[in-house]
A = this chain, B = another copy of it.
Amino acid sequence: MPISKDQAREVLRRLTQWGTVDELAKRLEPISEEARPLAPGVPRPGDWSGEARDLRVAALEAQGISIPHLAGREREADPASLRGNIEHYIGMTQVPTGLIGPLRVNGVHAHGDYMVPLATTEGALVASYHRGARLASRAGGISALVTTEQVQRAPGFVFANIAEASHFAAWAIDHFERFREVAATRTSHGRLLDLLAHVEANHVYLIFAYHTGDASGQNMTTFCTAAICEEILATSPVQPRSWFLEANMSGDKKATVLSFLHTRGRHVMAEVTLPRKLVVRGLHTTPERIAEYWAMSFVGGAQSGSIGVSGHIANGLAAVFLACGQDVACVSEASVGVTRLERTENGDLYCGLTLPNLIVGTVGGGTRLPTQRESLRILHCEGSEDGKELAAKFAEICAALALAGEISIVAALCAGHFSRAHEDLGRPQGG
């Protein structure tokens, strides 16, 4: 998250709105079951019957959350209402959706015990994340924190030579304030945050970074950047021979080191310290063995030439993205992260996760659709509300979820029952 000094000030302002460092740290602290009992768990976790399903739906309803579309009690949407989400509509692909939790999240924006809806077709996934969530919650919950927030669009400009290219790049960065004004004419929810320039011989890539409010922001950044490019062409002292609205340095829909380093979407972190006792009893392994596994798997991941190193983050993110109307193609970028597991001095297990590319939103795109709205409602992240940053809240829940999944899979590998879990749950009818 190398960030400019302006952005640092913004992060600092956001973090200190909770008071001093100590007060921020306090808000993120674990809350024991003694201090606040855990919310009730998903009813009948090992039961595939319709009755068990109804009990789960009822449990949500008891909390004031109704999910008629998910539960199949509503009629199909009017195709005309789908404009903006689909073309050439033929019907609805139906993806089974399960619930995990409670997942206690101690975040700045997300603060409480959450049931998390996961849409997937892969057996064992929900059960695995559920196990991690339960365990982390019993340890006081997962702290989560969003720091930087930005989405990029990166037009490219071709010049006659390096002299013109370099001059243009420096000129453009120096005219940042003007571009910020231009962007402001195209959006009220977003704003231009930063501008980076990359010069490769006579080619210049300008990387515009925007805050996109509660929207994931790919369209907003496109429209604003188009307007800025018009301004550039009208006012630049040196004219490009040719230019393109996107020249493949925005990181859109792909894992890149550039996005990993600079944040694309939200940079969000999660952590929990699992007491040794819980690791031994709940996960059937030890902090030492998990630390040994972490070193081997982290080196393994680095050796394989991955970007960031983690376990199976993509699984949980794909499932919650799908349930909640996020753009699942963004899993390619969002699933990049760093998982760190280490034995603490006094023998417990520290678990930390950093997701620098979490592209999410609670308005726009798929969040408008009926079942997707309901899943956001389950998380208390539906739409946009003044004074609340629901997209940041959703991001904190996503990070906590992902960390729960990392804990669960690593424990399964360390305890030696990774293969068995998939034999039990990954085949139809438990067959």
Q: In the complex, are the beta carbons of A342 and B203 less than 8 A apart? A: no
* Best-surrounded residue of A160, A308, A319 (most CB of chain B within 10 A): A308
Q: Can you show 16 pairs from A to B with CB atoms below 8 A apart?
A: A21-B164, A27-B163, A53-B90, A57-B91, A69-B94, A81-B428, A81-B429, A89-B98, A156-B296, A199-B269, A203-B299, A225-B419, A248-B300, A257-B306, A258-B305, A259-B304
Least CB distance, A167 to chain B, in whole angstroms: 5
In the complex, which of the residues B80, B200, B249, B340 contacts A50, with contact meaning CB atoms closer than 8 Å? B80
Q: In the complex, are the beta carbons of A300 and B91 less than 8 A apart? A: no
Q: How large is the interface on A (under 10, 10 to 19, 20 to 34, 35 or more residues)?
A: 35 or more
In the complex, which of the residues B145, B162, B309 contacts A271, with contact meaning CB atoms closer than 8 Å? B162
Q: Is A136 an interface residue (CB 8 A)?
A: no
Q: In the complex, are the beta carbons of B15 and A170 less than 8 A apart? A: yes
Q: What 0/1 readout, one digit per residue, does chain A (215-228) give for beta carbons within 8 Å of chain B?
A: 00001001101100
Q: In the complex, are the beta carbons of A261 and B198 less than 8 A apart? A: yes
Q: Is A49 an interface residue (CB 8 A)?
A: yes
Q: Is A95 an interface residue (CB 8 A)?
A: yes
Q: In the complex, are the beta carbons of A173 and B97 less than 8 A apart? A: no
Q: How far is the CA of A303 from the CA of B160 in the complex (A)?
A: 21
Q: Which of A154-196 contact B (CB under 8 A)?
A: 154, 156, 158, 160-164, 166-167, 169-171, 173-174, 176, 195-196
With contacts A3-B197, A161-B271, A332-B314 taken as known, whether A122 is within 8 angstroms of B340 at the C-beta atoms is: no
Q: In the complex, are the beta carbons of A203 and B296 less than 8 A apart? A: yes
Q: Which of A291-328 contact B (CB under 8 A)?
A: 292-293, 295-315, 317-319, 322-323, 325, 327-328
* Best-surrounded residue of A21, A327, A329 (most CB of chain B within 10 A): A329
Q: In the complex, are the beta carbons of B94 and A271 less than 8 A apart? A: no
Q: Is A112 an interface residue (CB 8 A)?
A: no
Q: In the complex, are the beta carbons of A315 and B253 less than 8 A apart? A: yes
Q: In the complex, are the beta carbons of B329 and A318 less than 8 A apart? A: yes
Q: Kindly list chain B residues whose C-beta atoms are within 8 Å of the C-beta of A27.
A: 163
From A275-283, A370-378, A379-387, give the one contacting chain B: A370-378
Q: In the complex, are the beta carbons of B79 and A254 less than 8 A apart? A: no
Q: In the complex, are the beta carbons of B428 and A84 less than 8 A apart? A: yes
Q: Is A113 an interface residue (CB 8 A)?
A: no
Q: How far is the CA of A41 from the CA of B248 in the complex (A)?
A: 32
Q: In the complex, are the beta carbons of B79 and A338 less than 8 A apart? A: no
Q: Kindly list chain B residues whose C-beta atoms are within 8 Å of the C-beta of A154.
A: 300
Q: In the complex, are the beta carbons of B223 and A419 less than 8 A apart? A: yes
Q: Which of A382-431 contact B (CB under 8 A)?
A: 413-414, 416, 418-419, 422-423, 425-431
Q: How far is the CA of A145 from the CA of B168 in the complex (A)?
A: 14
Q: Kindly list chain B residues whose C-beta atoms are within 8 Å of the C-beta of A9.
A: 170, 173-174
Q: How far is the CA of A117 from the CA of B413 in the complex (A)?
A: 37
Q: Which of A80-131 contact B (CB under 8 A)?
A: 80-100, 117, 119-127, 130
Q: In the complex, are the beta carbons of B171 and A12 less than 8 A apart? A: yes
Q: In the complex, are the beta carbons of B25 and A332 less than 8 A apart? A: no
Q: In the complex, are the beta carbons of A45 and B88 less than 8 A apart? A: yes
Q: In the complex, are the beta carbons of B223 and A423 less than 8 A apart? A: yes
Q: In the complex, are the beta carbons of A93 and B91 less than 8 A apart? A: no
Q: Is A139 an interface residue (CB 8 A)?
A: no
Q: Is A24 an interface residue (CB 8 A)?
A: yes
Q: Kindly list chain B residues whose C-beta atoms are within 8 Å of the C-beta of A67.
A: 90-91
Q: Which of A41-60 contact B (CB under 8 A)?
A: 42, 45-46, 48-50, 52-53, 56-57, 60
Q: Kindly list chain B residues whose C-beta atoms are within 8 Å of the C-beta of A158.
A: 292, 296
Q: Kindly list chain B residues whose C-beta atoms are within 8 Å of the C-beta of A429.
A: 81, 83-84
Counting from the closest, the 4 A-B pairs by CB-CB distance are: A121-B366, A201-B352, A257-B305, A2-B196
Q: How far is the CA of A6 from the CA of B393 in the complex (A)?
A: 33
Least CB distance, A51 to chain B, in whole angstroms: 9
